[in-house]
Each structure stands twice: as structure tokens, then as C-alpha cells.
Amino acid sequence: MAMEPSPDLIPTLHRVLEELYENPPPSIPSPAATPKRASVALVIRIQPHPSYRPKDNNNASVSTLAEFFDLPWVQHGDPECLFIKRAARKGDRWTSHVALPGGKRDAEDKGDYEVAVRECLEEVGLDLDGEMAIDCGKLPDRIVTTSWGTVPLMVLCPFVFVHMSPTPPPLHLQPTEVASAHWVPLRTLLSPDFRTVHRCDVSDRLARQTTGLLGRFVRWGLRINLGQMEFSAVRLWPSHSVYSSFGGDFITDSGAASGSWDRPMLLWGLTLGVVTDFLEMLPHGEPATGWNYPTFTSPDVKAVVWLMTKSLRQRNWLKMQQGSMARALEEKRRLEDIDADGDTKSSMVLVQGRNENRQIEPRTSVVGTLLEGYYDIVQDAVWITLFGRTLIIGTALGAAWWKHRR
């Protein structure tokens, strides 16, 4: 059965985008030891229904979200989001990952917003400062970390834009940065049918301090004992894709590249965290849509991690529900409804934004809040499990040797 767009997706999307623009979350300053910053662009367009396709692709006369969402073809359309698949590059931490257009801030950039605009133009050739794009504000900043959340790398600033073209805008991919670009319906990101997991080897992270022959032995031992680490993911189902024929990911002198171009595209990790902040505010969205805590494929490690993190997960879940963007905007709407009914005249709640009569509590990243302190316990759980295995095996061997001696 075909999955039809939700009838309330377009009006709710309009409301959410207006509220994001009116109530931007506070910017996170760079930590003293981590001055690096980066920005990404979450670009949304509307795919027109064939029965309402406009004759003219030019919406230059439209200047506001309200005017755009009043157009008949928009009201009957299907929202889509732009993703890229990064080019395969040796030594790149995010090589071949699905991501949003974006990159690091340069010294010449005036601010985080300008980084998102510049990087999107450089990577995919999409002009977000032009007359066909509308700035819709930003999602909560987050501190990007590595080594299981212990080492901060940079502050990531996600910005949201709407592109008003009823046809997919022409994309010109930078082959050294981007292997392909894809427009993906938002309804597939919200659907449980597209949720899956991504598994990867994490022995390098655990054995980062060990090098040489000993390092290879330690990594091999961890790989054998822990299996793989399992992360929540969403399988992308694009409606329109563009590939870079000048990059080595698509085609080489000897033929098709090593299968990388036709593998399933999985949205996971950092980019899924950014997208989750947005999805939770849409129809059928909920906190941490399509996301579960990272764990291991090894059954005993998974069980120990689950037991040791249970109370932390419960605390973080409550904290996330109280501080999420969706919760803040929902509370803002509730108080505005109360004011409209005349039940109260001076609600001094909610957040700072462009509406100076109200203040909303600072909103935080959903996944970032859920992961606070999680990896510290995971590392302890891993070593406790390995020690327990060694103890059990040693005891069993000792008992067998004692029995044999007697």
C-alpha cells in the first residue's frame, strides 16, 4: 500500500518554521579549548502533486513563508529535505557518510549563518541567499565530540531554509567533497518502516592509546570480544538524486566504483541527531524519533550496558522532554491560547526570541541531552564485561585443571 502524505504535515510544517524563525534557540559559545565551529543547512522544498503542478517555476514575487504556504501547489505538496553523501576520502572522519550540506567556519566568515550559506553554495551549488530561498531560523547548536563523547571537536550550528522552486533546483556538486545529493520526503523520515540500525567497528576508538604490534593485537581482541557497535539509523528513500560523475565514488577508469554508489543510504550519528530535533516537532513526530541508545551486538556486553545505564537513561529522558524545542514551542502555544481566551494577561514564561513579551527556556539538542554521561558508563560497562569474562573463563580453567590433578 502506498504511503500517502499526512494531511496535516504541510500546515504543521508551516507553523513549525514560523515558530523557529520567531524563537531561535540561544547560540552556544565555543569552549575555550575548542574554538572550531561549523554550520550545516537543513534545506526543505515542496514536491507538487501532479494535479496541482504550477505552470511557472518562478516564485520571485513570494517573499514570506505565509505567502509561500498559501500557494495551492504547496498546500497539496509533499515536503522533502536535501541530503548529501560525502565523498570517500582517506583520513576523513566522516568519509562517505550521509550528511547535510555544510562545513567549518573560516576566519573570513562573518558568522555561523554565513558559513551555512557559503558551504551549501560551494558543495552543491544551491544559493540560499537568493530570491528563491527563505531563511527559517535555526535548530539548537550542539558540541560535536569524539572518543565516545569525551573529547570536544567543534560547535555545530544547524540552520533551516525553504527553497521555493516547485521543481528540484539544479545542483552542481563539488566532486572532492560530495559524491551525490538526494531529495528525501520528510514523511519517510517520520515513518517507522524506514528505521533500521547501522553497525560499525569501534575497536580503534577503544584502543586509540595503543600503537604498533600491540595496538593491532588489542584491536583484534576487542573486535572479537565486543563484535560491532550498533547505532540507530534511518534508511533514506530519495525521490530525486544527483551524482557527481567527476568523483571516484561513482565511476572509475576501470568501471563502476566499488559498489559505494548503489549501497543503501543510512542516516545516522550526528546528522540523525540534527534531523531528530526537527522531526519531533512535526505530525507523528515524538522525542528521539527513529533513535535508540547506541549499544553492542555482543549479547552480554549489551546486557551490562543496559543495566548500568538504566537510571541515567531515565533521568536524561525526563530532562530531554523538559528542554526540547518541541516542548518549548508547545508551551508557548498553550500560553498564547490562554491569553487569547482572557484567562491570564501576563505569562512570564517561555523563551527568549524575537517576541520580547515572552521568554522561552533555552532549548537543547534532543540526542545531545539523551547522551549526556552515557558513553562514560558504556566504557566502564565494556571493561567490566571483559573482566567478568576473563574471571569466568579463568575460574573454569582453574577448576578443570584442579579436577584433572585430583
CATH number at residue 26: 3.90.79.10
Q: Give me the mean pLDDT over the 304-317 stretch.
A: 94
| pLDDT at residue 69, as a whole number | 96
Which among 177, 166, 290, 190 is positioned nearest to 240, based on CA atoms? 166
pLDDT tens string 231-288: 999 999 999 999 988 876 666 655 555 555 567 889 999 999 999 999 988 866 665 6
Percent of the chain with pLDDT over 70: 76
pLDDT band for 14, please (50, 70, 90 cuts).
very high
Which among 386, 377, 339, 384 is positioned nearest to 358, based on CA atoms? 339
Statement: residue 211 has pLDDT above 90: no
The predicted model scores a pTM of 0.85
* Cα–Cα distance, 406 to 328 (Å, whole number): 71
The verdict on residue 346 lying in a domain is: no
| pLDDT at residue 245, as a whole number | 82
The verdict on residue 385 lying in a domain is: yes
The verdict on residue 342 lying in a domain is: no
Q: Give me the mean pLDDT over the 119-126 stretch.
A: 97
Which among 191, 159, 234, 185 is positioned nearest to 46, based on CA atoms? 185
Which among 160, 172, 175, 186 is positioned nearest to 78, based on CA atoms? 186
Question: What is the identity of the amino acid at 12?
Answer: T
The verdict on residue 358 lying in a domain is: no
| pLDDT at residue 289, as a whole number | 65
| pLDDT at residue 282, as a whole number | 83
Statement: residue 355 has pLDDT above 60: no
3-state secondary structure of 359: strand
When mean pLDDT is compared across 90-94, 286-290, 335-339, 359-363, the lowest value belongs to 359-363
When mean pLDDT is compared across 10-14, 63-67, 340-344, 386-390, the lowest value belongs to 340-344
Calculate Rg over the CA atoms of the chain. 24
Contact by Cβ (8 Å): 4, 192: no
Name beta bridge partners: 142.
Answer: 156
| Phi, then psi, of 74 in degrees rounded to 5 | -75, -45
pLDDT band for 92, please (50, 70, 90 cuts).
low
Statement: residue 228 has pLDDT above 90: no
Q: Give me the mean pLDDT over the 160-181 stretch.
A: 93
| pLDDT at residue 210, as a whole number | 56
| pLDDT at residue 353, as a whole number | 39
The verdict on residue 391 lying in a domain is: yes
The verdict on residue 268 lying in a domain is: yes
Task: Identify which has the larger pLDDT, 165 or 405.
Answer: 165
DSSP string computed for 250-308: TEETTEE-SSGGGSPPEEEHHHHHHHHHHHTTSTT--TTTT----EESSHHHHHHHHHH
Q: Which helix (H) or strand (E) holds 311?
A: helix 299-323
Which among 220, 188, 192 is positioned nearest to 206, based on CA atoms? 220
Q: Which three cell numbers stand for residue 76?
A: 497539496
pLDDT band for 348, please (50, 70, 90 cuts).
very low
Statement: residue 304 has pLDDT above 90: yes
| CA triple 233-92-109, angle to 5 deg | 95
Residue range of the domain that includes 140:
9-324+363-405
Statement: residue 119 has pLDDT above 70: yes
* Cα–Cα distance, 209 to 244 (Å, whole number): 38
pLDDT tens string 362-384: 567 888 889 999 998 998 998 89
Q: Which three cell numbers stand for residue 335?
A: 500560553
* Cα–Cα distance, 101 to 182 (Å, whole number): 11
When mean pLDDT is compared across 46-55, 65-74, 88-97, 184-193, the lowest value belongs to 88-97
Q: Give me the mean pLDDT over the 67-78 stretch.
A: 94
Task: Identify which has the larger pLDDT, 363 or 167.
Answer: 167
Q: Indicate the average pLDDT of the chain.
A: 83
Statement: residue 323 has pLDDT above 80: no
pLDDT tens string 27-65: 888 888 888 999 999 999 999 999 988 887 666 578 899
Q: Which three cell numbers stand for residue 150?
A: 569525551
| pLDDT at residue 207, as a whole number | 55
pLDDT band for 1, please (50, 70, 90 cuts).
very low
The verdict on residue 350 lying in a domain is: no
Q: How many domains does the chain have?
A: 1
Q: Give me the mean pLDDT over the 145-150 stretch.
A: 68
| pLDDT at residue 82, as a whole number | 98
Which among 252, 273, 209, 218 is positioned nearest to 386, based on CA atoms? 218
| pLDDT at residue 222, as a whole number | 74
* Cα–Cα distance, 79 to 185 (Å, whole number): 6
Q: Which three cell numbers stand for residue 361?
A: 527556556
| pLDDT at residue 344, as a whole number | 46
pLDDT band for 341, please (50, 70, 90 cuts).
low
The verdict on residue 127 lying in a domain is: yes
